[in-house]
Amino acid sequence: MPSLVVLRIDNMPAGNSTRAWQPEMVDELEKRWSRTLSWEEYSPLCERMTELRTQLRRERGVKGPRMFCRHCNEVHEMELGPVTIRSVLFALKKRGLLTEAELNAMDVEWRRYRSKHRLDGGGRRRVEQIAAANSHSPSSLESRDEN
Ligand SMILES: [Zn+2]
């Protein structure tokens, strides 16, 4: 039944960051993460996670979600946006490394720090992103649940 297929694609939580995390990424995160990390130190961690995710998805032939593209005005497969600091925090909570209360406190702290320093979801200054942002990926699939 084609209608069911369409419904399923439309309802697909493409931006659901936890779905985009492969178990190996969380293992790697657990090895590299510590409670004493500064927000600056989360940026290379995010970049490493994005790199690892790209590698694992390629190895496994995982396709990106099909979404409406504002550049082409049509639906096609999208690359996932880079792993965000917020997504890292939720992954840490899921692994049991942060409690619910710690996650909430860090989430608030990160949001304040981010807006104060005008950073993107990965903790980099927005101006540095402009050159890299000229791609076919949506602004950031992973930050759809943010703000
Ligand atoms: Zn496009």
DSSP SS3 for 66: strand
**Cα gap 122→139, rounded to integer Å:** 12
pLDDT digits (tens, 9 = 90+) for 127-144: 655 555 555 555 445 444
Residue 66 phi/psi, 5° resolution? -85, 125
Biggest alpha carbon–alpha carbon distance for the chain: 53
Q: Which amino acid is at 42?
A: Y
Residue 33 phi/psi, 5° resolution? -80, 145
Distance 79 CA to ligand 1 centre (A): 10
Distance 134 CA to ligand 1 centre (A): 11
pLDDT digits (tens, 9 = 90+) for 43-82: 999 999 999 999 998 898 888 888 889 889 999 988 888 9
pLDDT digits (tens, 9 = 90+) for 78-119: 888 899 999 999 999 999 999 999 999 999 999 999 999 999
Residue 42 phi/psi, 5° resolution? -75, -25
pTM, full prediction: 0.71
Return the percent helix, strand and coil in the chain, to nearest 5: 55, 5, 40
Count of C-beta atoms within a 10 Å radius of residue 65? 18
Distance 92 CA to ligand 1 centre (A): 32
**Cα gap 57→54, rounded to integer Å:** 5
Distance 41 CA to ligand 1 centre (A): 32
